[in-house]
Amino acid sequence: MSLRSQIIGCGAYLPRRVIPNDELAKTVDTTDEWIVQRTGISQRHVAADGELTSDLAFAAARDALRASGVQPESVDLLVLATTTPDHTFPATATKVQARLGMTGGAAFDVQAVCAGFIFALATADSFIKTGQAKTALVIGAETFSRLLNWKDRGTCVLFGDGAGAVVLRAHVGGGAAGRGVLSTHLHTDGRAYNMLYVDGGPSSTGTTGHVRMDGQGVFRHAVAKLASVVDEALAANSLNPGDVDWLVPHQANQRIIDGMARKLALGPEKVVSTVSRHANTSAASIPLALAEASGDGRLKPGQIVLMEAIGGGLAWGACLARW
């Protein structure tokens, strides 16, 4: 019998401060109407001064441990997806490890921007499947507000801060009807490096820098590449779009989410969307959506959950799981 990673608990944390579109429209040339029509975003959460990515990650991880009834000492792997680490090094994951009271195992960061959670989940799933870890915490946490040029209306309206986490536990007995991660599928195409990037960094400018994006370019790639990786995930599991109970997509733009739902012929009642309230929280968006939909009872044991994401790199991926 093969090993499989089961998602046994979810957690979330959103900073207290909420910035509605109207408030942004006071400082940059935009309107609530434009932002809602083009993106579906109405507001975003923004971390307080001095509130760091590790603080957000810690709060979400603690919530996920509580939900799963797992003690921190029994976690033997922590993978933190983030683009906004507290410091250039060491890995922010190690700070979270210490705060949680997780004394053994390994903790490290994974960097795949908006696709970060899928990459971190795939990493932890591989460790579990190969017997290198039994209980893993996978966290997506971002203080993306720190990377924004608040005078650039093309980017500053799109992003928000937050963190989400899941606990994975190894269990024996996969099989077609078994619960847990069924498969993960990762891709990158570095030829599009400059389509969405931050114009700073320790090795280039020595500054943190700001987000730069060719929005239309990313949009075009998003629709095509997400459709392709979703096909790949379904085919790998001999499933059809009609078998998907829930689409839990990366939350960048409601128009991209609607496009994927249309492709899968899924009604809005089968799509978890948080983008209007959270905006794009990068690596945190999928685990935040999972925490919300599992917390309110939408995700039920045995259901097929499809996750997909794309972001800077370009990096994109998908995961199919039986909840």
Binding site for ligand UT7 (CB under 6 A): 30, 34-35, 38-39, 114, 153-154, 157, 196, 215-216, 218-219, 222, 252-253, 280, 310-311
Least Å from the CB of residue 90 to ligand UT7: 26
Q: Which is nearer to ligand UT7, 41 or 67 (CB)?
A: 41
Least Å from the CB of residue 311 to ligand UT7: 4
Instruction: Name the β-bridge partners of 317.
Output: 186, 309
Q: Which is nearer to ligand UT7, 40 or 180 (CB)?
A: 40
Q: Quick one: 139 exposed, middle or buried, by C-beta within 10 A (0-12, 13-18, 19+)?
A: buried
**Side chain identity at 6, as an amino acid letter?**
Q
Nearest-CB residue for ligand UT7 = 215
Can you say how many angstroms the Cα of residue 90 is from the centroid of all Cα atoms in its chain?
21
For the question of residue 114 being annotated catalytic, the response is yes
Q: Which is nearer to ligand UT7, 67 or 275 (CB)?
A: 275
Q: Which is nearer to ligand UT7, 209 or 215 (CB)?
A: 215
- Tell me the HSE value of 229 on the side-chain side, using a 13 A CA sphere: 26
Cα Rg of the chain (Å, integer): 18
At which residue do the structure tokens 């099989």 appear?
A: 175
Can you say how many angstroms the Cα of residue 296 is from the centroid of all Cα atoms in its chain?
19
Active-site residue among 250, 253, 278, 319? 250
SS3 at position 181? strand
Could you tell me which of 141, 184, 145, 178 has the C-alpha nearest to residue 291? Answer: 141
Contact 164, 10 (CB under 8 A): yes
Active-site residue among 10, 21, 45, 114? 114
Secondary structure (DSSP) of 292-318 = HHHHTT-S-TT-EEEEEEEETTTEEEE
CA–CA gap between residue 266 and residue 73 (Å, rounded): 41
CA–CA gap between residue 275 and residue 250 (Å, rounded): 9
Q: How many CB atoms lie within 10 A of CB 58?
A: 23
For the question of residue 280 being annotated catalytic, the response is yes
Q: Which is nearer to ligand UT7, 78 or 252 (CB)?
A: 252
Which residues, at least 6 apart from 49, have a Cβ–Cβ distance to it below 8 Å? none
Q: Which is nearer to ligand UT7, 264 or 309 (CB)?
A: 309
Least Å from the CB of residue 154 to ligand UT7: 4
Least Å from the CB of residue 28 to ligand UT7: 7
Residues forming the active site: 114, 250, 280
